[in-house]
Structure 1
């Protein structure tokens, strides 16, 4: 349930309707509150001199504010669509989600729509004396409407400044890199130390040698239920806590066959649940199996696109997409690509310091409950990220040197020999690609010196393997 709620909140956060809807509801409540306050002031024969106004003046003020703010909402919406179009064409349509999440357009539109709605609701209460009907002029309501109008004017200036900076490459890269850093901190929160890593290696080695997946499943029994996918799409998230709870309830083990970010086709195997049948009749067994299948399908969230909430690889690929587009012949912007490489260096440097994901998830009593057959690790993310940038940027001496500099920075944080080996393999692949594209001896000398500096960092860790 937690993963589904987080995924739902992420979709709300990157939408343009959620905040304006909330602010419109707040405007309705504010209009009702000021109307009640005005009614109390009139019945108590009290007046606030600085709020005093006439019915025609209140009607004119509220009408002007309501019309102006709803017109500004249309202007803001048009500017927002234009900025999204520019970001989509220059940086990639997949980054529109990041731009929408960091944009204040929903807040500004919500302010304008809410202010207009508030003024309309207060405006209908303005009455002049007619026959036996007494006059009613919402003094507080009109003053609040005027204040909201002034705030709206200030927010227009703020919005224009925000749009002018939001579509700049450094700003978008910063927002995307923040997604990557948050994904690393959220999915790999434990920082590795020599003691904890030694204990983890021993425990994982013992699990893999003495209690392999097959042995764990054999201890549960031969009865199992396969869980197929009901639709095509990407796995946006998996609720691990719910999987463990279900396995505890069944006194069994869930063998997970997928991970966040995988593309799943209809009827593809998602998981296999091993447990002891608690019923004797065939009908009861079929009903129990159907219940288990429905429970697993609810905790594996499948959607139309990948999200960085549980997918570190996709969060890194968002930065890679900006870099690759910048290196295309039509744009030819190596500075943006180098900025992306710097951001990858910082995030991957933190990633390599974190403990590896555990393949055997246990309950509170240390009983194996979930077996993870595949998951993101440092080697996959590094190879996929820098490999794509290398493919398009190896012909540029500046980008190639920046990649070597990034690999050197990441290597200085790495301590596991397997991670250092992956870094060296990526550096050697870059070296081969660079030599194939560059024949200038001066550039080759610069690259060779940077490559040797990287080797000086890698050698001590690789020799201790």
Structure 2
């Protein structure tokens, strides 16, 4: 349930309707409150001199504010659409989600629509004396409407400043890199179902982690329920806690055959649920299979696109996409690509320090309940991050040197031999691609010097990781 709520909140956060709707409801409640306050003041015959106004002045003020703010809402909406169009063509349509999430357009539009709605609701209560009907001028309501109008003017200046800075490449790269860093913090070491694990003795934990999938499944039994997908699309998130609860309920193990970011076709295998005992009657067996299928399909969230909440590879891909577009012949902006490489290097330097989460998830009693057969680790993210940039950027000397610099920075944080070997493979692949594209001796010398520096650091780091094993 938590994963679904987080995914729902992420879709709300990157939409343009959620905040204006909330602010419109707040405007309605504010109008009702100020009307009640004005009614109390009118019945008590008390006058607030600094709020005092006439019915004609109140009507004119509220009408002007309501008309001006709703017109400004249209202007802000038009500017926002132009901004999104530029971001889509310059950085890629998939980056529109990040621009929308970081934009204040929904807040500004909500302010303008809410102010206009408030003024119209107050305006209908302005009455002049007619026959036996007494005059009523909402003093407080008019003053609040005027204050909201002044705030709206200030927000217009703020919005123009925000648009001028938000469309710049460094700002967009910063926002995308924040998504990547947040994904790393969420998923390493915390993964799906991690909160359900109980702290146990370190030696016992080491013994448990040495168990293989076959050993765990052999202790459960041969009866299993295969769960096909009922929908087609990308996996946006997986509620691991619910899958662990399902394993506890059935006294079995859930073998997860997919991961966030995978594209799933209809009827494709999502998971196998291994149970201790099969139900006695055929009717109960069919009911159990249907319940398991519905539960697994509910907790595996399938949508239209990938999201970075549980998919660290996709978070890195967003930076890669900006870099590749910058390196295209039509744009030819290596400086933007170098900024992306810097951000990727910083994020992967943090990632290589994190411990790889176990693919065996346990319940509160340390019983295996969830087996994750596929998962992205440092090696996959590194290859995905620099592989495509190497392919298109190896012909550019400065970009290639920047990649070596990033790999050097990542190596300084690496402490596992397998991670160091992956970095070495990526550096050697870059060396091969660079030498194929360059014949200028000065460029080759510069690259070789940077490569030798990285290679020496790799050798030093590898010796340091082997020393504890030899001792």
TM beyond 0.5: yes
- Residue in 1 that maps onto 2:446: 446
Three-state SS of the structure 2 residue aligned to 1:364 is: coil
Partners of 2:399 and 2:203 lie apart in 1 by 36
Does residue 433 (structure 1) correspond to residue 433 (structure 2)? The answer is yes
Deviation of the 1:278 alpha carbon: 6.2
Deviation of the 1:277 alpha carbon: 3.6
- Residue in 2 that maps onto 1:265: 265
The answer to whether the 8 Å contact 2:411/2:461 transfers is no
Deviation of the 1:276 alpha carbon: 2.7
Superposition pairs of residues 127-146 of structure 1, within 5 angstroms: 127-146=127-146
C-alpha change, 1:202 and 1:339, in structure 2 (3 Å) is farther
Partners of 1:278 and 1:256 lie apart in 2 by 20
Partners of 2:430 and 2:413 lie apart in 1 by 20
The superposition leaves residues 47-100 of structure 1 with CA deviations (integer Å, 9 ceiling, x where unpaired) of 100100000110010000000000000000000000000000000000000000
The answer to whether the 8 Å contact 2:189/2:356 transfers is no
The answer to whether the 8 Å contact 1:251/1:276 transfers is yes
- Residue in 1 that maps onto 2:281: 281
- Residue in 2 that maps onto 1:460: 460
- Residue in 2 that maps onto 1:389: 389
Partners of 1:237 and 1:201 lie apart in 2 by 32
Partners of 1:231 and 1:280 lie apart in 2 by 31
Partners of 1:219 and 1:419 lie apart in 2 by 33
The answer to whether the 8 Å contact 1:176/1:318 transfers is yes
The answer to whether the 8 Å contact 2:223/2:278 transfers is no
The answer to whether the 8 Å contact 1:3/1:237 transfers is yes
Aligned alpha-carbon RMSD (Å): 1.6
- Residue in 1 that maps onto 2:186: 186
C-alpha change, 1:205 and 1:347, in structure 2 (3 Å) is farther
- Residue in 1 that maps onto 2:12: 12
The superposition leaves residues 355-376 of structure 1 with CA deviations (integer Å, 9 ceiling, x where unpaired) of 1021110111110000000111
- Residue in 2 that maps onto 1:218: 218
Three-state SS of the structure 2 residue aligned to 1:273 is: strand
Does residue 156 (structure 1) correspond to residue 156 (structure 2)? The answer is yes
Partners of 1:358 and 1:393 lie apart in 2 by 35
C-alpha change, 1:151 and 1:44, in structure 2 (3 Å) is same
Partners of 2:269 and 2:206 lie apart in 1 by 26
The answer to whether the 8 Å contact 1:357/1:375 transfers is no
- Residue in 1 that maps onto 2:106: 106
Deviation of the 1:460 alpha carbon: 2.2
- Residue in 1 that maps onto 2:193: none
Deviation of the 1:317 alpha carbon: 0.3
- Residue in 2 that maps onto 1:333: 333
Aligned pairs, number: 456
| Residue ranges of structure 2 left out of the alignment (5+ in a row) | 191-200, 467-471
| Residue ranges of structure 1 left out of the alignment (5+ in a row) | 191-198
Superposition pairs of residues 352-431 of structure 1, within 5 angstroms: 352-431=352-431
Deviation of the 1:112 alpha carbon: 0.2
Three-state SS of the structure 2 residue aligned to 1:322 is: helix
Deviation of the 1:207 alpha carbon: 4.2
TM-score, length of structure 2 as denominator length: 0.95
The superposition leaves residues 186-221 of structure 1 with CA deviations (integer Å, 9 ceiling, x where unpaired) of 11147xxxxxxxx9999668645xx32122112111
Deviation of the 1:279 alpha carbon: 3.3
Partners of 2:377 and 2:242 lie apart in 1 by 23
Deviation of the 1:177 alpha carbon: 0.1
Deviation of the 1:231 alpha carbon: 1.4
Deviation of the 1:442 alpha carbon: 0.5
- Residue in 1 that maps onto 2:195: none
Three-state SS of the structure 2 residue aligned to 1:220 is: coil
TM-score, length of structure 1 as denominator length: 0.96
Superposition pairs of residues 276-315 of structure 1, within 5 angstroms: 276-277=276-277, 279-315=279-315
- Residue in 1 that maps onto 2:171: 171
Partners of 1:252 and 1:47 lie apart in 2 by 74
- Residue in 1 that maps onto 2:116: 116
Three-state SS of the structure 2 residue aligned to 1:369 is: strand
Partners of 1:404 and 1:58 lie apart in 2 by 67
Partners of 2:204 and 2:257 lie apart in 1 by 25
Partners of 2:60 and 2:426 lie apart in 1 by 69
Three-state SS of the structure 2 residue aligned to 1:235 is: strand
Partners of 2:359 and 2:288 lie apart in 1 by 27
C-alpha change, 1:373 and 1:204, in structure 2 (3 Å) is farther
Partners of 1:277 and 1:67 lie apart in 2 by 70
Partners of 2:278 and 2:399 lie apart in 1 by 62
Three-state SS of the structure 2 residue aligned to 1:339 is: helix
Deviation of the 1:461 alpha carbon: 2.9
C-alpha change, 1:239 and 1:382, in structure 2 (3 Å) is same
- Residue in 2 that maps onto 1:51: 51
Partners of 1:204 and 1:296 lie apart in 2 by 29
C-alpha change, 1:50 and 1:69, in structure 2 (3 Å) is same
The answer to whether the 8 Å contact 1:73/1:113 transfers is yes
- Residue in 1 that maps onto 2:316: 316
Does residue 36 (structure 1) correspond to residue 36 (structure 2)? The answer is yes
C-alpha change, 1:201 and 1:159, in structure 2 (3 Å) is farther
